[in-house]
Amino acid sequence: MTRHFLNLADAGGDAVAAMLGEAIDRKAARAGWPKGRVEADAPLAGRVLAMVFEKNSTRTRVSFDIAIRQLGGSAVLLDAGTTQLGRGESIADTARVLSRMADAIMLRTDDHAKVEELAHYAQVPVINGLTDLSHPCQIMADLQTMMEHGKALPGLEVAWLGDGNNVLNSLIEAAGLMKFNIRAGVPEGYESDAGFAARARESGARIEVFRDAAGAARGADVVITDTWSSMGQPHMEAKMAAMQPFQVNGALMSLAKPDALFMHCLPAHRGEEVTDAVIDGPASVVWDEAENRIHAQKSVLRWVFEQI
């Protein structure tokens, strides 16, 4: 069976734990090295990753490219708008062609059904590089970052402030797999996907929804937010107004535990979902989080190639 990484559950909790351990070890082993140096075991030597972007990206694009290079492989970047996909060639036919040319495919798109369709027709592994539904690669990096900053995952209280979006869906999925709890401060009408929350609760995670930001942040080990307007969504004044009370600022962070971390997948909209004082402050680990996209994705790549 070809391994696809469309959501964290495709791997499961044990594999996610193993992937995180490998990510932490490989990161430590290459500390201080030039970013392009290939690791001695070059486990993905000869492998090519085709990366297809239907939406903008800085971190996902660069980190997948650098990750596979550090493992001895290479990547090809396809901007969907300049491919035949952008002129209406079907996902099924694109999957068939890319499967003959590349060893794995990463897709960033809008409708999650597109990445599922790609996986259905591909003969090589497919990785979800973000859809409107989920962003599992981001959450792998987030979990690694929490662990590296001394936060053992089981039992952790993770507060999310703001929009109930794709990143929150994957965070909730991770809570179910890795046994931590979510305190989601989300205004009414902007909740995350009910299916992810139901599955996480079935796995024993406590997924609480708060209508006040203070309630969500109080006593948290980690405070996370993201843009109030995800890619492809219109910038709506009504939504911005509803989100305003959920801004992560100094007053809100002071309600979390004294050693709480602040995290954000980036790009940040400073002055909206987070203040400069918080993102540039002592609790913020956002640059480690961004770097960890490389290390976590190495594990995702090795997992789809059945090396983990």
Torsion of CA 176, 182, 187, 189, to 10 degrees: 10
Instruction: Compute φ and ψ for 126, nearest 5 degrees.
Output: -120, 135
Written as one string, the DSSP assignment of 219-277 is: T-SEEEE--SS-TTS---HHHHHHHGGG-B-HHHHTTS-TT-EEEE-S---BTTTB-HH
- Contacts of ligand NVA in 281-300 (CB under 6 A): none
> Using CB distances below 5 to 8 A depending on partner kind, what does residue 48 bind out of ligand NVA, ligand CP, none?
none
Interaction between residue 249 and ligand NVA (CB under 6 A)? no
Cβ-based neighbour number of residue 269 at 10 Å: 13
> Using CB distances below 5 to 8 A depending on partner kind, what does residue 230 bind out of ligand NVA, ligand CP, none?
ligand NVA
- Contacts of ligand CP in 233-292 (CB under 6 A): 265-266
Interaction between residue 99 and ligand CP (CB under 6 A)? no
**Total residues binding ligand NVA (CB under 6 A):** 9
42 to 73, 100, 105, 140: CA distances (angstroms): 8, 23, 19, 22
- Contacts of ligand CP in 119-158 (CB under 6 A): 130, 138
CB 99 within 8 A of CB 124: yes
* 226 tagged catalytic: yes
Q: Which of 128, 145, 170, 227 is close enough to bind ligand NVA by CB under 6 A?
A: 227
CB 50 within 8 A of CB 78: yes
Largest CA distance in the chain: 54
Nearer to ligand NVA, 22 or 226 (CB): 226
Nearer to ligand CP, 174 or 205 (CB): 174
- Contacts of ligand CP in 54-93 (CB under 6 A): 57-60
Residue nearest to ligand CP (CB): 60
Active site residues: 108, 135, 138, 226, 265, 293
Interacting residues with ligand NVA (CB under 6 A):
130, 165-167, 226-227, 230-231, 265
